[in-house]
Chains A and B, each alone.
Chain A
Amino acid sequence: GAGVSQSPSNKVTEKGKDVELRCDPISGHTALYWYRQSLGQGLEFLIYFQGNSAPDKSGLPSDRFSAERTGGSVSTLTIQRTQQEDSAVYLCASSFSGVNTGELFFGEGSRLTVL
């Protein structure tokens, strides 16, 4: 497709289980971002990729959260030993790397519910 694709769209898991969320960015976009949005809250930055490297991981809330990107394309966000407070919509965005473009393209998000 032409846009940012995320999967799964919905995930329900039990506390303590690991989950993986996937993001397929727009073809040609070298920059990729993960955000999360808890119910009724704003968007919280998690991590930024430039190619396969992550120069900014400052938003990852704990060491249970990790992300990788391979081939300069697909990215996976992994949450280990999920907790109820991890319940949120996880949004992925991609963009060109030119610093003045300003435009991030967001996917529809993966809604995670931890029971």
Chain B
Amino acid sequence: DAKTTQPPSMDCAEGRAANLPCNHSTISGNEYVYWYRQIHSQGPQYIIHGLKNNETNEMASLIITEDRKSSTLILPHATLRDTAVYYCIVRVPQMEYGNKLVFGAGTILRVKS
């Protein structure tokens, strides 16, 4: 699976958009980009995933560059409850491994009032 690089931490003002970057320059054509987050003392929570098109759901938007070497997770109106560790994961779904995900260090997002 392709390696990802994320900044270790970011701050965001409450009510503003949080833009979390992820570099995955070695991504291959059939690898998806997944985003999860982990709020303190809770299990990780799925946010969104995509292959090459931008994606949006009720939680966030995922913008993938045309060359697919990087992506940005956007939380449009960050709240204090969005303070968490955000993980960007790149992988190809493999039948023998199911949806196994390998988590890196992620980005600690601190939303401040």
Chain A interface (Cβ < 8 Å from any Cβ of B) = 4, 31, 33, 35, 42-43, 45, 48, 50, 55-56, 91, 93, 95, 97, 99-109
**By the criterion CB–CB under 8 Å, are A108 and B42 in contact?**
yes
Closest to A96 in B: B99
Q: How large is the interface on B (under 10, 10 to 19, 20 to 34, 35 or more residues)?
A: 20 to 34
Known contacts A108-B43, A109-B43; is A102 also within 8 Å of B97 by CB? no
Point out residues on B near A: beta carbons under 8 Å: 32, 34, 36, 38, 42-46, 49, 93-106
Task: Report how far A96 CA is from B46 CA in the complex, Å.
Answer: 14
Whether A102 contacts B32 by the Cβ 8 Å rule is: yes
**Bound Cα distance from A31 to B96, whole angstroms:** 11
A104 touches B99 (CB 8 A): yes
Say yes or no: A42 contacts B99, CB within 8 Å. no
Is B93 in contact with A45, judged by CB distance below 8 angstroms? no
Q: How far is the CB of B45 from chain A (nearest CB, A)?
A: 7
Closest to A4 in B: B43
* Partner among B34, B38, B106 whose Cβ is within 8 Å of the Cβ of A102: B34
Contact B43 A45 (CB under 8 A): no
* CA distance in complex: A60, B40 (Å): 25
Chain A residues positioned under 8 Å from B96 (CB to CB): 55-56
3 closest cross-chain pairs (CB), A and B? A106-B43, A99-B93, A43-B103
14 new A-B contacts at CB < 8 Å, known A31-B98, A42-B105: A31-B99, A55-B97, A55-B98, A93-B43, A97-B98, A99-B93, A100-B32, A102-B32, A102-B46, A102-B93, A103-B99, A104-B44, A106-B43, A108-B42
Q: Are A42 and B93 in contact (CB under 8 A)?
A: no
Minimal Cβ-Cβ distance residue in B for A30: B98
B43 with A107: CB separation less than 8 A: yes
State the CA gap A50–B93 with chains docked (Å): 14
